[in-house]
Each structure stands twice: as structure tokens, then as C-alpha cells.
């Protein structure tokens, strides 16, 4: 007897969630609804998808549903801003929930790309062979990841960022919109690469790189 397909529940409710709704639907996955931490969304629908209730108050069974992390991030000069997204993912994984990779049909992902649980690849992204993407990472709209790049877990590659071949990005790091990481450069853990920055040298953990001219600061 065929097994029943698990439904999808998105945890979130903001702009990142709205982008994911279309991606989940395009993948042909059955979307049950949204669970949120925002009480103002109770009783509403988001892009015709119902809000089921508040986190901790909706009975979710990991044998019946898979989850999609609808929490995005906004990096600042004080840090990458990925802690809430990472904490949500780790909390639900500890409860036994699976997070399937969600890939836009408008993305180009080579067959020889390895990606972990919960990876999200948005429309227009291009990911070349040999790339490894750690769990719970976001490859955002029109980002370009060249061959043999390694992304550690919980990263965010923002829209139109470019990572050249053999670059390595540490855990929990934010690469800003339009930033360019030159080939073979290593970016540390929990770093912030500002929007539009061009990085030609290795970046230490917890550093902030600002564009034009780039300035390194320690958090």
C-alpha cells in the first residue's frame, strides 16, 4: 500500500514565508498552512494559505508533517542576524521534525550538488557542480555559487551575491546582496559580508566587512 505523503507546514509568517509559499506549491508539495509567532496573524490567510495558530499551541506530529523554516534574517553591523532562524530549526529538529530542501523551479542546480536538510534555493539562483551546502542555509534570489564552493550550515547568501570557485563560508555567516567572494577565499563563522563588498582575502570569525572601501571590524 502506498504511503501517505506528509504535508508541509511553514513556520514563520513574514516576507520570507511568502516567497516560500510559491516554491512549496511549485514543488507539488501539499501545504497544510502556516504556524507563526506573530499573534497579529491569527485567523488570517497569507497568499491564500491559512494561519493555523501560534507556535507551541498547534499540535504538530512529525510523522504527519514536514516543516519549512519561514524565518529569514536581516544582518547588521552587530552580527549576521541568523540566530532566531537557527534556533527554530534546531528546536524542531530535536523534536524529530524533518525539513525538506525547497528549490525553486526557476533555479539552476547542477546534479552534482550536495545539500543538507532544510536548504532553500530561490528563483534565479545558479549553483554549479561540486558545491556543498550545509543544512538550513538560504541561497537567495539570483545568487551565483560557482563550482566546488563549500557553505557551512545556517548561512544566508543574499540576492545577487556571487561566490567564485573553491570559496569556503563558515557557519552562520551572512553574505550580503551583490557581494562578490573571489575564488579560494575563506570566510569565517558568524561573519557579515556587507552588501556590495568585494572580498579578495580570507575573513576571520565574527568579522564585518563593509564595501567601498572594505573595513574589517571585530564584533
Q: Which residues are catalytic?
A: 147
β strands within 24-122, DSSP E: 31-36, 45-46, 49-54, 65-69, 102-103, 108-109, 114-115, 120-121
211 close to 194: Cβ distance less than 8 angstroms: yes
46 close to 37: Cβ distance less than 8 angstroms: no
72 close to 93: Cβ distance less than 8 angstroms: no
Neighbours of 109 (CB within 10 A): 21
DSSP 3: P
Of 16, 13, 14, nearest to 139 (Cα)? 16
Is 41 strand, coil or helix?
helix
C-alpha distances (whole Å) from 84 to each of 73, 153, 170, 213, 215 are 8, 14, 18, 30, 27
11 close to 32: Cβ distance less than 8 angstroms: no
Amino acid at each position: 500500500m502506498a504511503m501517505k505523503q506528509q504535508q508541509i507546514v511553514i513556520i514563520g509568517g513574514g516576507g520570507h514565508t511568502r516567497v516560500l509559499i510559491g516554491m512549496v506549491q511549485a514543488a507539488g508539495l501539499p501545504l497544510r498552512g502556516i504556524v507563526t509567532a506573530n499573534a497579529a496573524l491569527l485567523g488570517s490567510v497569507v497568499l491564500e494559505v491559512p494561519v493555523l495558530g501560534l507556535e507551541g499551541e498547534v499540535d504538530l506530529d512529525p510523522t504527519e508533517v514536514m516543516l519549512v523554516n519561514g524565518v529569514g534574517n536581516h544582518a547588521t553591523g552587530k552580527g549576521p542576524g541568523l540566530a532566531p532562524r537557527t534556533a527554530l530549526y534546531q528546536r524542531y529538529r530535536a523534536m524529530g521534525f524533518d525539513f525538506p530542501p525547497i528549490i525553486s523551479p526557476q533555479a539552476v542546480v547542477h546534479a552534482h550538488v550536495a545539500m543538507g536538510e532544510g536548504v532553500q534555493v530561490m528563483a534565479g539562483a545558479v549553483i554549479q557542480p561540486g558545491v556543498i551546502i550545509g543544512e538550513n542555509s538560504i541561497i537567495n534570489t539570483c545568487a551565483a555559487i560557482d563550482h566546488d564552493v563549500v557553505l557551512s550550515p545556517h548561512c544566508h547568501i543574499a540576492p545577487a551575491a556571487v561566490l567564485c570557485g573553491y570559496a569556503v563560508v563558515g557557519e552562520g555567516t551572512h553574505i550580503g546582496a551583490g557581494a562578490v567572494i573571489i575564488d579560494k577565499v575563506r570566510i569565517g563563522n558568524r561573519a557579515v559580508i556587507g552588501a556590495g563588498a568585494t572580498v579578495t582575502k580570507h575573513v576571520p570569525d565574527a568579522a564585518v566587512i563593509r564595501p567601498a572601501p572594505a573595513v574589517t571590524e571585530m564584533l
